[in-house]
Structure formats: C-alpha cells, structure tokens
Chain A
Amino acid sequence: MASVVSLKNVNKFFGPAERPTTIALKDINLEIQPREFISLIGPSGCGKSTLLRTIGDLVEPSSGEVLVNGKPAHQARINREYGMVFQAPVLFEWRTVLKNVELPLEIMGVPKAERIRRGREMLRLVELQHFERHYPWQLSGGMQQRVAIARALAFRPELLLMDEPFGALDEITRERMNAELLRIWHETQTTVVFVTHSIPEAVFLSTRVVVMSARPGRITEIIPIDLPYPRNVETRESPRFFELVTLVREALRKSEEMREELELR
C-alpha cells in the first residue's frame, strides 16, 4: 500500500546554510501507512513540532523529500489533504461553534446548505451537537479542543496532524479526550500524526511511537504498540500497557544518554 506520509533524508537547519546555528531535524526517514496512528515523542527541542509542520508544508525542509499521498507536501497542502490541530484550539472568537467548524468549508467554497449539514455532522462526531450556537468562550478548554478537531475533520482529510492538542488540558480531561480521539479515529478512518510529550498518551493512542532526541533532532527508535482494540480504561491498567510505557521511557533515556555522549566527544 502507498504511504500516506513518506519522509526521505529530511534535514532542517536554522541559520546560514554553510554554518547552521541549529540542526532542528537530521536525516529523518519515516514511512506512515494509511490508518496508522503515529506519535512523535521526545524532549522539548527535539524537532517533533518542526517535523509535523514539515509534513504540513508550514515549514520547508532544508533538504530531503516530503511526500504526502505520493505528492510533494506543498501540493498536498494546496489540495487540502490534511487537517491541523494545534495545542491551543485557535477558534475564531467572533464565530459560533458551528461557524468555526464551517470555516475550512467556507474557504473551499462548499455551498452553504452542505456546509451546515457537514458542520452539524462533525459536531455530532465530537458530541457537541447541542452547542452549535455557543461562542468559543462559553465552552471549557476540552470542549474548545473538540471543536478544533471537528473543524480539522470537516472537509474529511485523509490525514490529521495534531501538535500537542491536549497538552494544555488537565490529566482527567486529557484521558477522556484520548478515548474520544481513538473513537473518532476509528469512525473516520483517518491517518493521524500526533505530537506529544506524554508517554502514556503516546502508548494509549498509537499504532507506532516514534522516539526522537534533541540537538540534533533525530529519530532514535520506533516502537510498535500492540495493545488490542478497543482500548479503554482497562487498557491503561493492563500489564502490557505498563511494559510499553517502560519501553518508551527507556528509549527516551537511551537517546538522551546517546546525545550526551555525542556532546562530550
């Protein structure tokens, strides 16, 4: 099957080309298959957000190839092949919840009746159908982020890019949102690339966890997550869950030690 995302020897430098001040991404190679849920995890400054933005053509790589659905990332962005969710909901405060979800459809020139129909469908998907006339400030942080997810899915992209979407939420809300996101992922059959620095979150959600290290930002390990579906509260309490959490934690520590060795040399 063709990869949804294909990264080949991707590098990203900041500063002058001959003497870069920061190596944000170094030799990134990654293939993401349809229906996968990939988490990018690593310490701050490891370039996981930069990598996500490279896939979305919001950041241009210094070298290497980024393909989305077999096309260059730029073309995929112009074709509107992915939806984006940030750490903050970034809702437009002058629009109602429904109008916020309709925003991408408006930009894409979808007729009004169809917009409303799909907006409502998406709000049902995130279970906010009773809030369509509310304004963003009338909702809690978790609800706002659900609106942002509905907005990102409104035009049915095959790929969902999420940059620490639950990073600002409390632990209890975050776990609920995790379960919610898995359900949405199942229902919509979307491929997800998910940036996080929470190990349990990465393990609970993913089909594969991509472990990264900082300075330079590299992929140090890719850990397949074989937890059975449906994943729920019991999943979080299963021995296998703890094993995998430990595995990811050790991989993170190992990559950190490797980096320190490199720096000492």
Chain B
Amino acid sequence: MRPSPALSLVLIILALLIAWELIKLIFNLDKRILPHLWEIAVAFSQPARRGGPPLFSVLFEAALYTLRGALLGFAIGALLGFILGTVFAHVSLLERSLVPYVIASQTVPILAIAPMVVIWLRGSWLSVPVIAAYLTFFPVTINTLRGMRSPDPRAVELMRSYAASTWQTLWKLRFPAALPAIFTAFKIAATSSVVGAIIAELPAGIQQGLGGAILNFNQYYITGPERLWAAILMAALVGILLFVAVSLVERVALRNIVRAA
C-alpha cells in the first residue's frame, strides 16, 4: 500500500531531522557549524534580547513584514511577466529584440542592483517589492511566452477558420493552453520573491523584516548561532508557505486539465 501524501511528508521531514543529527554526530561538528535541533527549538521560545519578547514572536512579526513585500513584489512581477510574455508571443519583432535584454537582466547579481534601486526610490519601503519583482518577472515572462506558443498549429488554424479575433484566440486558446506553464513559473517566482524581499531589506536598512533579523543575528553568530538558524528556518517557512499557496490555486485552476496518463 502506498502511504498517504501527508504521511510521506512527515516521514521525509523525520528522515531529514535524523540526518541532521547524524551528520553532527559523525563529523563531531560544534554548535557554531551546526547546532542541535533542540537548541534551535529552545531558542525560539527564549527572548532574543534581555527582557524582550520570545524569539518566535519576534521572527513571526518579521516574517509577516517580509511577506508583505514579497507578496506585492510577486504580484507586480507576475503581472509584468504575464504582460511581457503575452506581448512577446504575439509580436515576434519585440521578442527578438527584447528577450536578450530580459535574459541579460537576470545575469546581473541582484546584490549589485538592490542598492541602486534603494537610492532611486529614496530609501522607501517600495524598493523591497520592486527588487522582489525583479527576480519574479523573469520566469513568468519566459514561461508565458512558451505557453502561449504551445497550442497545436491546427488549433490556431481552427480559430482562423472561425474568423476569431486575435483577442478571442488569446483568451479562448492561448491563455488556457499556457496556464500549466504559467503556474510552474508562479511557483518558482513565489519562492524567489521571498529571497528578493529579504535581500532588498539589507541595503534599504529596513530592520523590521527577516532581512534585518538575519543581518542582526549574523553579527552575534559566535555567541548564539541557533538564533540565525531560527531566522533561516523562518525565511524558508515563508517561502514554502507562498509555494503551497500557489500550488493550491493551481490545483483549483487546472482541475479540468487532467491527462489520461
């Protein structure tokens, strides 16, 4: 009998936790390289600062703050990517002239661009969603373009035989045909929007988010490595949360596209 998805997820997590502790044991790693899992768990419940609230609630607040920037950035990037991909799919002149720049934009390290964006936007919080969008628009553009081009040429001919407008062909054929590819891009974009938001918080000097928390705990790593690990875990959780949210929407949106395979 095959185990249920929930059960296999629990088993995988359990296996990872055991692997963590085994590696620590076998290589005799000290707590600065790899703290015990329970040390991280305990750190969550202890105040991060003397007399302050427990680390968990600090990180939870920070995660909510970062999530806001990531979500807005994801939305902007997804919309921009969708529009660009759709335009490129229809105007091959623009595709040939602009897609190389879209690709080039992703070869520039985000760390180099982030400070400039912060300066251009005069240090406003908006630089966080803008930088997150910079990371997310790319996969959405490329996959929208590919998906919009994916229909069978005969399906396009069929629409032509009905004298369908370009607009009708877009909404009734190209868009639904592109949806699986677009959702794949959304899932990639969801996780990278969190990375983008965290990175953007650093040059913007924003303290309230996970980026600020990571920077802060990084400075005190020698004395309390488990706090940085806790912040990293929290950042990963935010990324996973967004990923799962997109997957759920995908499952609803594509429920009719079940293949016989």
Contact = CB atoms under 8 A, between A and B. Distances in A.
A84 B161 contact: yes
A244 to B, nearest CB: 31
Interface stretch (B82-90, B105-113, B162-170): B162-170
Contacts of B4: none
Contact of A84 (B158, B256, B259): B158
B257 interface: yes
Contact of B172 (A78, A79, A106): A106
Contacts, number: 56
B155 A92 contact: yes
- A: contact size bracket: 20 to 34
Interface string B245-261: 00000000000111110
A33 B94 CA distance: 46
A83 B173 CA distance: 18
Contacts of A94: 176, 179, 256-257
Q: Which one of B163, B172, B176 has the greatest number of beta carbons of chain A within 10 Å?
A: B163
Nearest to A161: B161
A86 B158 CA distance: 9
A138 B260 CA distance: 7
Contacts of B257: 93-94
A258 interface: no
A107 B168 contact: yes
A56 interface: yes
Nearest to A138: B260
Interface in A3-53: 53
Contacts of B256: 94-96, 135
- B: contact size bracket: 20 to 34
B176 A107 contact: no
Nearest to B155: A90
A137 B155 contact: no
A195 to B, nearest CB: 14
Contacts of B160: 58, 77
Contacts of A2: none
A103 interface: yes
A144 to B, nearest CB: 11
Contact of A56 (B155, B161, B259): B161
A80 B162 contact: yes
Contacts of B161: 56, 58, 77, 82-84
Contacts of B158: 84, 86, 90
Contacts of A90: 152, 154-155, 158
B21 interface: no
Given A90-B152, A92-B173, A107-B168, A80 B163 contact: yes
B8 to A, nearest CB: 27
B61 interface: no
A58 B158 CA distance: 9
A233 interface: no
23 contacts: A53-B157, A58-B157, A58-B161, A77-B163, A80-B163, A82-B161, A83-B161, A84-B158, A84-B161, A86-B154, A86-B158, A90-B155, A92-B172, A92-B176, A92-B177, A93-B259, A94-B176, A94-B256, A95-B256, A96-B256, A107-B159, A107-B164, A107-B168
Interface of A: 53, 56, 58, 77-80, 82-84, 86, 88, 90, 92-96, 103-104, 106-108, 135, 137-138
